[in-house]
Structure 1
Amino acid sequence: MKAIVVYLSTSGNTKAMAEAIAKGIEAMHVDVKAVSFYDAKPEELKEADAIAVGSSTFYYKMLPPMEKFMSETLAGIKPAGKVGAAFGSYGWSGEAPIVIAEQMREMGMHVIDPVLRILHKPTDKDLQECKRLGVDMAETLKQQVKPA
């Protein structure tokens, strides 16, 4: 089983969340990699059984490069059936993770709820929530891949 956590972080907050999510996944003995969306390779996304995507919110939506990643790169690998999660930090409104989750569902992914949104810089408690999301992803993945 493999997972990948892809993020676009303008101030480092969403990156910190991504790294904590990856730690939670890793704690459940699932291979995981946290990468900036700039470094996410389509073949890694195809190989992954679970994909978490995070973006900070800018003017009530995700940043344009992440919109392109979602509509072209992620949609292009046809991720239906994969476990998904959406997350991100925000300063005012926080819509980006909600939009990411909606798009993942439209692609046929099994999205973990609730969507994880954190105001500004994640606190230690927030990072524990991120790790919990990673654990939830890994547990959902393991339930889907039960041996016959």
Structure 2
Amino acid sequence: MNSDARDFVLPYGERQAQCMELALQRAGLVPEDITIINTHATGTRQGDIEECKAIRALFGDLETTWINNTKSLIGHAMGAAGVLELAGNLPAFSDHMVHPTINLDRLDPECDLPTIVTGKPKQLDKVETILNNSFGMVGINSVVIVRRFDP
């Protein structure tokens, strides 16, 4: 977790990137270790652009990290959004499927990341890790990383 405390509602991509980086460090991982990024993506122009800048800054153009958004399927559950979004991605550990972002009619060029899964699911050989972003109002950022358990 971190906070940028710059604005009541406008997000700050630099601190979002730092939050993702901190989560990776604490988990002992590098960007290449992440299979799925579930974005916070509320569908607000500035919010989505800032998050995409943050992802691009940390992950570059990784072709092995897939990006989706659960809010496109279930809406924004406010305080419960993060946990519901993570729950929506957990089945990927067993079915190896990245659920798509739906209802995406016009992708802003500043949000055009190369591995956004849209329209239909993306089948993978294996899903090892899921990074889930939750970036809230008043600059409160949190990122959770979950790794596949192999007994």
TM-score bracket for this pair, using the shorter chain length: 0.3 to 0.5
Q: TM-score of the superposition, structure 1-length normalised?
A: 0.36
Q: TM-score of the superposition, structure 2-length normalised?
A: 0.36
More strand by share: 1
The structure with higher relative contact order (CA 8 Å, sep 6+) is 2
